Amino acid sequence: MELLKNYINGKWQPSKEEGMLDVVNPATQDSIGRVPYGKDTAQDVADAVSAASQAHRDWATTPVMQRVQPLYKLKQLLEDHLDDLARTVTSECGKTMAESLGELQRAIENVETACATPLLMQSEFSENIARGVDEFVIRQPLGVCACISPFNFPGMIPFWFLPYAIACGNTFIIKPSEKVPLTMQKVMGLIDQIGLLPGVVNLVHGGKDSVDALLDHPDVKAISFVGSTNVAKYIYARGAQQGKRVQAQGGAKNPVVILPDADLETSSKIITDSVYGCAGQRCLAASTIIAVDDRQGKVKEALYEAAKSRKTGYGLAEGVEMGPVISRESKARIAQLIDQGVHEGAKLLLDGRDATIDGFGNGNFIKPTILEDVPLGGEIVRTEIFGPVMSLINLQTVDEALDFINRNRYGNMACLFTSSGASARKFRSEANAGNIGINIGVAAPMAQFPFSGWNDSFFGDLHGQGRHAIEFFTQTKVVIERWPKEWSRKF
Ligand code: NAD
């Protein structure tokens, strides 16, 4: 079994922490690695920050065209090792191979987009802003930046930040989730081959102790966090208190509205893919489905048919459409939330709790579940379930649906299914969420666009990916220059 090491200053180094946590395959319960976890991981962080600070001196002044060259190599290596990386994602996280390949494709797209940094970093220049005076903006790197990532996309989420940060001239520390550290360990093996200066990219393991050490270290200038809302708020507050730039993406509870004029067959398929893809463990998973004016119950029927036939099983097995949830605790928490929904008055249209999968009796499986007539005042429409559970509600008009959506404490995504341009236009303008899907079930921004959560789904200003990432990872310096003629030597 692999004993995970840190990657600091261009070398693999054992952790100073002796305490270890098992990394568990959620489909089999097999231990597939041991990750350093405990107070002394803070010392690893100190070593990584020291190496990253040292490397920053050279890296910040390396021309940007040279800084992006290793990213071209990384893209090639990621593509060459795609299958192996996807298997690792599936083994530690549970999702299907197709889902793992999909998330790695999104990672590669971020590397490709960051290769445009020489252009994206260019700035404004005004000649003669006053007579004989020019003014311009320089974008400079911040220094050491760090990313703290969650369990559900081990191969993708660090790439919302890493390629942009280093292309902009920063040095970087990744702290992956202790539940799924193997994927980034493998990625780091590839990063080791792309010719970066030692210390430009570092990997440290651990949980809260290593996170707090990153938050408190004076030489860490920026933190990019993705995870649950409570932790995001904590990271944002503690990081800001230490004067750091912070972007903290939190949890979600995503509503999807289906109007009577939508194509029901296609829409129901797309919506069930959104609810049950990655076993509902996606921050852009549809969670509450709002059927508008569905007098004959056709929406409910179509969603039920699409959900019940979904094949659940081991992510590496052929034909499987949904894997397990991450842990036993998570499975128990989801089951308890289903109970609570029923207790609040919802009806259980499809109950996936008693899921037994041949050959995987120990796995954390829950099959597709549907709660219908979920009371609008209950807890279940407010709480992030993060599992394969659809909450179905019926409302009469688009305005009622928008009212419901706009009372949501989160704001990661809202989607509408319709064939009416006017309804779509109203929805995209009035829905209180940062990522909007029109006839799209998972409104995941492509790498060129910011991953734009709102409300309790995001704390900060500039988001990950694209131009926002370039702005986040650079600070602007405004220069005003005057060169009086009389001061110049005449030739
Ligand atoms: P989590 O908040 O438990 O953990 C995320 C990271 O924070 C991990 O690296 C973990 O080690 C660290 N951490 C955990 N508790 C901490 C604490 N008390 N102090 C300091 N650090 C701590 O999240 P998770 O369970 O790994 O991921 C699932 C959550 O992430 C869901 O809420 C999901 O919606 C959210 N998420 C959001 C987005 C987004 O883009 N908004 C994307 C993916 C996941």
Task: Calculate what percentage of the chain has a pLDDT beyond 90.
Answer: 97
pLDDT of 429: 98
Whether the CB-CB separation of 466 and 112 falls below 8 Å is answered with: no
Does residue 195 contact residue 73 with C-beta atoms inside 8 Å? yes
Q: Answer whether 181's CB lies under 8 Å from 151's CB.
A: no
- Residue 207 Cβ inside 6 Å of ligand 1? The answer reads yes
Residue 268, pLDDT above cutoff 80: yes
Question: Does the CB atom of residue 459 touch ligand 1 within 6 A?
Answer: no
Q: Both tokens of residue 305?
A: 């048919």
Domain boundaries, the chain: 2-250+458-479, 254-438
| Residue owning the nearest CA to atom 6 of ligand 1 | 150
Atom of ligand 1 nearest to the CA of 412: 41
Task: State pLDDT tens for residues 166-179.
Answer: 999 999 999 999 99
Q: What is the pLDDT of residues 104-150, one digit of tens each?
A: 999 999 999 999 999 999 999 999 999 999 999 999 999 999 999 99
Cβ burial, residue 29 (10 Å; 0-12/13-18/19+): middle
Give the model's confidence band at 458: pLDDT under 50 very low, under 70 low, under 90 confident, else very high. very high
Rounded to the nearest angstrom, the distance between the alpha carbon of 309 and the centre of ligand 1 is 31
Say if ligand 1 is within 6 A of residue 200 CB.
no
- Indicate if ligand 1 lies below 6 Å from the C-beta of 103: no
412 lines ligand 1 (CB under 6 A): yes
Query: 2-250+458-479 in CATH: which number?
Result: 3.40.605.10
β-strand pairing of 254-258 with 369-372:
unpaired
Crossing angle of helices 208-216 and 229-241, in 10° steps, is 30
For strands 458-459 and 454-455, give the pairing. Answer: unpaired
Residues near 256 by beta carbon (within 8 Å), at least 6 away in sequence: 271, 274, 286, 288, 289, 290, 414, 415, 416, 417, 437, 441
- The C-alpha atoms of residue 436 and residue 426 are separated, in whole angstroms, by 12
Which residues lie across from 133 on neighbouring strands? 130, 482
How far apart CA 247 and CA 249 sit, in angstroms, is 7
Ligand 1, residue 178: give the atom nearest the CA. Answer: 11
CA 248 to centroid of ligand 1, rounded, Å: 10
Residues designated as active site: 283
Backbone φ/ψ region at 166: left (φ over 0), alpha (ψ -120 to 50), beta = alpha
Ligand 1 atom nearest to CA at 230: 2
Confidence band, pLDDT 50/70/90 cuts, at residue 1: confident
Query: Using an 8 Å Cβ cutoff, are 183 and 176 in contact?
Result: yes
Q: Judge whether residue 304 has pLDDT over 90.
A: yes
- Cα of first residue to Cα of last residue in the chain, in angstroms, is 74
Beta pairing class for 414-417 and 436-438: parallel
Model confidence pLDDT, tens digit, residues 213-226 = 999 999 999 999 99
- Tell me the pLDDT tens digit for each residue of 184-197: 999 999 999 999 99
What six digits make up the tokens of 256?
A: 């999807």
Span 154-163, mean pLDDT?
98
Residues 318 and 411 sit within 8 Å (Cβ to Cβ): no
How far apart, in whole angstroms, are the C-alpha atoms of residue 279 and residue 473?
33
CB 55 within 8 A of CB 199: yes
For the beta carbon of residue 461, count every other beta carbon within 10 angstroms: 11
Rounded to whole angstroms, the Cα distance separating 177 from 206 reads 8
- At residue 406 the predicted structure's pLDDT band, cuts being 50, 70 and 90, is very high
pLDDT for the residue numbered 360:
96
The 10s digit of each residue's pLDDT in 81-106 is 999 999 999 999 999 999 999 999 99
Q: What is the pLDDT of residue 488?
A: 86
Cα–Cα dist 73/190, whole Å? 9
Protein fold of 254-438: Aldehyde Dehydrogenase; Chain A, domain 2 (3.40.309)
Residue 325 has pLDDT above 80, yes or no: yes
pLDDT for 491 beyond 80: no
pLDDT computed for residue 354 by the predictor: 86
Query: Could you give the residue ranges of the DSSP H alpha helices within 246-358?
Result: 264-276, 298-308, 328-344
Residue 219 corresponds to which tokens in the numbers above? 């030489």
Contact 249 CB / ligand 1 (< 6 Å): yes
DSSP state at residue 203: E
CA 230 to ligand 1 center in whole angstroms: 9
Tokens of 59: 């890296």
Written as six digits, the tokens of 6 are 């840190």
Confidence class of residue 489 from pLDDT cuts 50, 70 and 90?
A: confident
Contact present, 369 and 390 (Cβ < 8 Å): yes
**Token pair 């006053």: residue:** 130
Q: Express each pLDDT in 203-261 by its tens digit.
A: 999 999 999 999 999 999 999 999 999 999 999 999 999 999 999 999 999 999 999 99
CA 236 to ligand 1 center in whole angstroms: 13
Whole-number Å distance, alpha carbon 325 to ligand 1 midpoint, is 15
Distance (Å, whole) CA 473 – CA 177: 22
Residue 301, CA distances (Å) to 269, 304, 306, 309 in order: 12, 5, 9, 13
| pLDDT, tens only, 417-441 | 999 999 999 999 999 999 999 999 9
Q: Quote the pLDDT of residue 490.
A: 73
Would you give the distance in Å from CA 462 to the centre of its chain? Answer: 14
The tokens describing 185, both together, are 């360990």
Cβ–ligand 1 contact at 283 (below 6 Å): yes
pTM of the model: 0.97
**242 exposed, middle or buried (CB, 10 Å; 0-12, 13-18, 19+)?**
middle
